[in-house]
Every structure is written in C-alpha cells, then in structure tokens.
A and B are shown apart, each in its own frame.
Chain A
Amino acid sequence: MKWMKNLKNYTPPAFKVIRDDDRCIRCKACVEQCSFDATFYDEEENKIWNWDANCVSCNRCAAICPTEAITVETRGYSYRHNYSWGSHIDSLKKRAIFGGTPVVSMGNDKPYKIYWDHLLLNASQVTNPSIDPLREPMELKTFLGKKPHSLHLKDGKPDIDISPQLELNVPIMFAAMSYGALSYNVVEALGRAAQHVGTFYNSGEGGLNKDHYKFQGNIIVQVASGRFGVHKPYLDVGSAIEIKIGQGAKPGIGGHLPGEKVTETISETRMMPQGSDAISPAPHHDVYSIEDLRQLIYALKEATEYSKPIIVKIAAVHNVAAIASGITRAGADIICIDGFKGGTGASPQVIRDNVGLPIEMALAVVDTRLRDEGIRQDISIIASGGIRNSMDVVKAIALGADAVYIGTAALLAIGCTMCQQCHTGKCAWGITTQDPHLSKRVNPDIASQRLINLLDVWALEIKETMGAMGINSIESLRGNRLNLRGIDLTEKEMEILGVLPAGE
C-alpha cells in the first residue's frame, strides 16, 4: 500500500491537506487530478484520505474541487525551534536517507534582498508635463542587435550597414524553456502568443519539434553544450541563435533531462535515443576561452551566412562585467544576463540557493562597464531571472537593459502555482510534464490568450509609467538611471546600482 508510512525513509510532511467532510460530495475529482499520489479514495469507508507526505501544495485539488471542500496548508516545522538549523534538518536527513542531492525547480526561494523593491521611479510634476498614453503615441518598439558607431548620410539617406536585428513590439520575450521540460501544449501557447504580440519565444536547448517550425519569425533557437536537436534547419528557423553558456538557476552546472522525460517525441526533437538521459556537459567542450567563444559565434554566423544576430547567455556571476566585455569583443550581437533568482530550470538545491548574483546588480555593472569602455552600442542587453511584474521591466530598462526575458512569469500566466516540482515530470497543471494524461490539462487556446493578456497589460502599465515620467519612447528610458532612486540601500549598493538615494 503506497500510503503506508515507512519509517525507514520518512521525513515529516511539509503540507497538510484539510478536507471539509460536510462539503465533500465524494466526486473523486481530487483523486483523479492528483499526480503526486497524495489523495486516495477508501471505498469501504466511502471516504477520501490524504497522504500528506506526498503533497507538494500545487493546489490542483483545491482548484478542481466543485464544493471548495479542500484547503492546503503549510505545516511548518514541528521540531523544537532552532534558528540556525530550521529547514536544514529535513534537508540533511533526505541526503542521508536517499543518498542523493536534492534537485529543485522554480528558482532561488531564499530571502535574499530583492533590489527591485528598493528602487523608486520618478514622475513629472509641473515643470515637465506627463503624457497620457491613451491619447498620445507611446513607443515600445525595441530592436536588439549591434548598432552603428556613427551615422553618415549619402544623398540625404543614411549610408550604413546595419547588422541583423530582432524587432520586438514589446521589450519582453519568453525565456529559454525547452520542449521536454515543457509540455507540447505549453510550447504551442508560448509560440502563438509570441507570434500574436510580435515578440519571441526561445526554444531552449532541447531542439524544436517539427510542428513548431510554423512559428518561424518569432523563434529564438538555443545552442547549448549538449547540442541537442541542433542541425541546419533548426539554425535556419531561428530569428536569432542563442549560445547558452550558463543560466541563473544553475550557474556553471550542466543540464540533465532524466530518461523518464525522454519520450518518443522528445527523442525525435532532441535527436537522441528514447529513455536515455539527456546530459548537457557543464561547459561547451569547444569553448574554453573568450577566443573559443568568438570561434563558436562566428561558426554560427558562417553557418547562417551572417543573416541573424547571435545571443550569448550567461548566468550573473561575480566577474560578470569583465565577462560581458569579453563577450562583446568576441562578436556577440546580444548578451543575456540571467540573475540568480531565475530558474524555471531544474537545479541542484545547493547551486540554486547559493550561486550567482542578483540581476539588478549584474545588469547595472555590465551596462556601466560597457559604457565606460565605449562598446555599449556593439551589443544589446537582455536581463532575465526574477522579473515579476511590469515595474521590474521598467526598472530593468532604466538600469540599462534593452529587453527582458520572462520564464516563471509566463508559466504563472498559464496556470503554474510554483510548487517547484518541474523536475519530477508530474506537474499537475500539465505544464512541465510529458504524461499525455496531464499535459492535456493545458489548453493552448486559453493559455496563449492568457499570455497575450499578460503582455498587453504589462505593455499598458509600462506606457502609463513612462507617460508619468514624461517619456514617450522606451529608447529614452534605456539606461536612464536618473529616473531611479534607491531606498533602504547602503551607499555602496547605490554606487553599484548607479542610482541616487531617495530625496537627493
């Protein structure tokens, strides 16, 4: 019996499912919907029970229950209170019992300072009028790619070779999340929304299913160390090619798609045998230096005849400014910096919780460094990792980003409840699973509409805020740190962020 307590591998449940027996009509919808074996029906007693140890608090049962009989509560630790040990007790026990390192998803959840919440935006009052975006044109169009150093005119027309650019209607793109990690319908929804809004979905490192080649024009393809599904048609379908060196969820760590998730269609998309682990080595073994990176960037440019921009994605780490300078000089058109809060990716818990930098800091130092070196126009910056709302986008752009990637936010729009179980492949909301019974829970029509709504609303909010600042083009907000003020920050933090304190 799967719900029998086994003391040998027992750790106390983190959640408690509370069921109002008067309200429960025994419809068993919760039993059918729970993909974590935390709910079962006892025929003899005509009663529904919960095995709390299996509950992950995804809230699928509570959402599906027609009589609202279910609430899921956090149990808290029943051990004697200990400030320094806290969650480390169970974490340690798990390692000791199972002999493996815990893998987690959905990004760093530790209470590190969130700098977005310590930055305040400006607004116009009297001396320069604010602009009403509902009645006046407001420009969010963004171009990503190398910009020319100077402009020359020939017969009244600009005489210049412009490098290939990505054209975005909103400065927000869907971050790299591969088919394999995501279900088919979610990729479909992301692609459709990107196409409708005029932005891009990044395929991630797992290749692109042949059905999704129809999103050509709104797809960024990724080349990572495993090179899964990388072949000529794949490189050709992307509007840009992203070389993934690292990601915020797991800086310096390779990828690992467990064999259970490598189903027939995944194996076809990734071009690898079914059921075998998809292992991405930690480094690209042909990139051990900035010079090697240049070689890969130009190999991809040669393979696509210099027709599309090349993005290099790195995790925000201590020397990020110097690395970004190297990447710019290596010939990348766009750099993506992924902060340590980022993390739709599954990652060993120790890495997720302890490695990397906040995106706010990384972004500020990279933008400053590239300006100081006079090479900022050679590269566009995408900020990602922990963008939660439209104001984070505005603040990121004011700190120096050209655009942002959203991953977690996009999944939340589709229905994710951040239970952090993506790596198990059992997602009860049908988002990060390959189980056909579960993945059909995402309806691509509804999901894509929700994504479109999200981007439309964020775009309006960004326009409103820009209007309040008296700015009518996103270009004028870019790197405009005078519109930011720091609050509750140390002098050093404000120096790094390049912002003045509130009141100054």
Chain B
Amino acid sequence: MPNRKLVAVAGALALAVGLSACAESQRTPTTSAPQGTTGATAARSDSGNANADATFIFGAAGAPKLFDPFYASDGETFRVTRQIYEQLLDFLPGEAKTGPGLAESYEGSEDGLTWTFKIREGVTFHDGTDLDAAAVCANFDRWYNQTGAAQSSAVTYYWNNNFGGFADQTDKDSLFESCTADGMTATVKVTRVTSKFPDILAHGAYAIQSPTAHEKYDANNVQAQGSGFTYPAYALEHPTGTGAFTFGGYDDAAGEVTLNRNEDYWGTKAGVAKMVIRTIPDESTRRQELQAGTIHGYDLPNPVDWKALEDGGAKVEIRPAFNILYVGLNATKNEALKDVRVRQALSYAINRDQLVQSQLPEGAEAASQFFPKAVSGYNTSLQPYPHDPEKAKALLAEAGHSDLTLEFWQPTEVTRPYMPDPASIYEAIRSDWEAVGVTINPVAKPWTGGYLDGTEQGEAPAFLLGWTGDYDSADNFIGTFFTKQDNAFATKNYPFAQELTDALVAADSEPDAAKRDQMVSDLNKKIAEEYLPGLPISHSPPAIVVAAGVNGLVTSPLAAEDFSTVTITE
C-alpha cells in the first residue's frame, strides 16, 4: 500500500512538472508605447498631464454581439464598432444632427435623387487599404447585394428598415439604386426622396469597412443554423475600419473587448493607448467597480446613485433626452378604446408632472408629443396633457364608459433609458387611472418572455413601451410607430388610419427640409389632439459616469460617444 501511494504521488508530481514545462508564459509588456508612436505629442492632450499610454477601462451593460456593424442593431455592439469604424457622414459632437465624416462634403441634386460625396483624402483602413470612392461604393454594393440568411431583419435590421430591400428582392421597394465611383467622388442614386437620406448614413450600421478585409475573411457568409445565425470570421475576429482605434480582440471568458490606438489615424489620435470595454450586466456591480477604481467609467448609472457618485468625486454626465416613453393603446382587444374620448380621458387622468418628478431622473420632461425637442419638426406650441381627473371622469361618462375595465401590461426583467424603473412608472399610471374609476387588470410579463411578443402581436390593450432615436428624424419616431396600421398601435381600428399613414409618407418624402418640418409639426398637433393612438408620457435623459481623472468625454444624445477624445490623468 505505501508503495502504491508513493507511485501515485510521484506520478502527480511528474504530471505537474510535465504540464509546467510545456506551459510557457506568453506575456507581452502592456504599458510601453507601441512602436512608431510619438506618445503624448501624437495623441490628444486636453489636460496638461494626461497619460497618453494609459488604458481606459469602461463598464458596459451588455456584451457586443459581433463586430460588423452592418449585421448589428444593438447599442452595445455599436458602442464598440463606433470606435473602430467611421461613416460617410457623422453626428456633430454632442448632437443628433449630421455633418461630414469620411465624406468631407456632400450635396444632393435638385430632385433629391442623386447625392455626390467628396471622399476625404489620405485615409487608410487598418489593414493598409486606401479609402477612395471605389471602397465606398464597394460597401454600398455589399449592403445591397446581401443574399440568403443575411436578408433577415434579425441580421440586417437597419438596411431592411431604411433601404427596404436587396438587389434580388424585386417585390420590394428598394431605396438604393446605384453607387458609381470616380477617384475620390462617389455618386449615390436613390429611387425616391426620403427624409432619411443621406442623414441615415451617419448611423453606425453604415460604417465604411475595408473591402480587402471583406474578401479576405469572407465577410458576407451569414448562414441560418438551428434557431440562430452563424457569422463569418470577419464579423467575429477581423473588423477593419478607419477609426481612431483598431480592434485588439474579444475575450469572452473575461467579457472584455480590447481596442488599441490607431497610430496611423488621419485625424487627432486617441488620447489613450488602449481602451478595454468590460461587460458588467449588473448596474450596482458597475458602480462598485468604479468606486473600487477598477474601471474608469460606465454607462447608465441608476438615477438614484447620481448624487452619491458625484459626492464620491465621479463625474455624472447627463445626456440630452433623445427618447420617448409612451403608453401604447390597442383597440383590437378593447372596443372602448375606439372612442377617442376614452383615450383622451386616459391621458387626462395621468399626472405626468408628478410621475416625472417622483419616478424619473433629473432632467426628465413630461411629453407632449411622440418625440423629444431635439428632433426637427417638434411642435413647440403643444403642451403635455394636463392632469385633470374631473375632465377624465366627464369624458368617460360622455363616452358611456364610466365603468371602463382595462388590461394594462407591465414589462418585467428590463430597464430601458426611457424607462429606468418600469414597475414604479407602471404603478403611478395605474393608480392615476384607478383614481378616475377605471378598473385595471394588471398583466406582468418578462421583456423577452412574452412582453415584446405580446405587445407587437396586438395582445395588449394598454402597455408601456418606448423608443430611443437613431438620429435626428421625425420619421424615425412617428413614422416607425404609425405608418403601418397593423402593429402594436393597430391604427387600423380608427377612422383616421389611412389619413395618418398618408400624411407620414408625404412628410417623409418632402425634399424641402423647412416644409417637411412644418408638415411634421402640424401632424404632431393632430396626433396629440385628434388621433391620440397612444399616450406620450415622458423623455428621460440617460447618464454616463466617469472617474475624476477622466477628461474630454463628449456625451451624445444618441449614446454614440466617440471615446478617442478621452484622456486620463494619473
């Protein structure tokens, strides 16, 4: 027996030594400046003693899904890809309006159907490929010529919604017609005038990517498999753009994306040598990590923590509100809602001011229409429905629905920038409605466990939902909500359905911006006062927080921050 033990111990030792011998450290130095860098002089230096070799560590609420933004539709993916890629147009710093990006200038023809983009000189992709008009048109052609599984909205959500279809889909009304390249000039033709174009090209989904890398890593090879999709190596491991950061890798086991400063960047180089985006889904853990000094900043701090964070020395940057929280109404499931007086009564019953003050973060506002002030076409003369329970009761009585019973849906297992705490918002509205005699049948469902499915399929007579805008476009808000007549709002139940659809289409296809804004403004008034297919509630500003030594962050109302402006003082 002792011999057997001895053999076992000796064996274990030999195994350990063996493993140890074949396991070698592959460490590389992390803090030295990369070769070719001119260090602090090459990078930004907003702050006198900023450390250009620093690593900026940011806590994100979710993991990026992949790194080809054309196949993405979620904010966490765009947060990463915005640092790697650039678009033809870009959002002006701190705004939702667009300006030049990789196109240093652009202009449209008189009929609004032909757009000429002058491409910026001296820009190269991270793989060394030069940016020119041919590369830009290669991107347009790639987008338009997606085939098979890639045509699904789950893969190419933005193209499907903004451009309407692909080359081989003859039954669909595609917006894109052609792109022709001539040196540094790209000419894009569209089939109709829409307020979306060319502004939508500033959206992260339309990042200009290296055609060479596309070919090398089989970028279009998306396949449906089982209940999901498989993506090519390009989208998972080799994203190649022109941005201020290059892709350093994604470590799923650690939940970290690493980005390195692009030392050959055409503009002002990034203020930090490296950026690491850590996925920390739990908000309180993100706060604790910031307090422990293990991250430099994070997104979406809970409004109740804002003051404590500032007291602790951190900087809470409140973005302008660019969203809408609304109560959706669907008359298919409750006949009483077909009467506009009932919908108005429900709107008068809600005490928006109290809800905003007690349930929403500082800077939130009661909503008078279905998009925020920063969007062109906002009607400044409209006021939010005042809280008037007596009028609500009178309207219900007039409509013959004093004993109204309403099924009201509440989402669980979710927070959204426009809805930081769904439960408390739900309770506030519910008690306001009950106060005017409405009997509420509450229904609570998990966000992806039946809530979104149910509301979209028209099963919820009344529900909480919202929207964060993609860019400065009225159509992106009200066009999405009300152009179709058979969605969550089911406007098909109302006599104004076609009139509303026609008005939205007419406004969207008006080439003159001033005229379009007026049309939208008038339409906003009609939607709020005459149609009322849903009840606009509030606009909430989401925040982002950084540690005391972090400078230079410019917040974006679209949460589309460019982190290359960040510097760290250590």
Q: Is the A/B pair a real complex?
A: no
Contacts from A to B (Cβ < 8 Å) = none
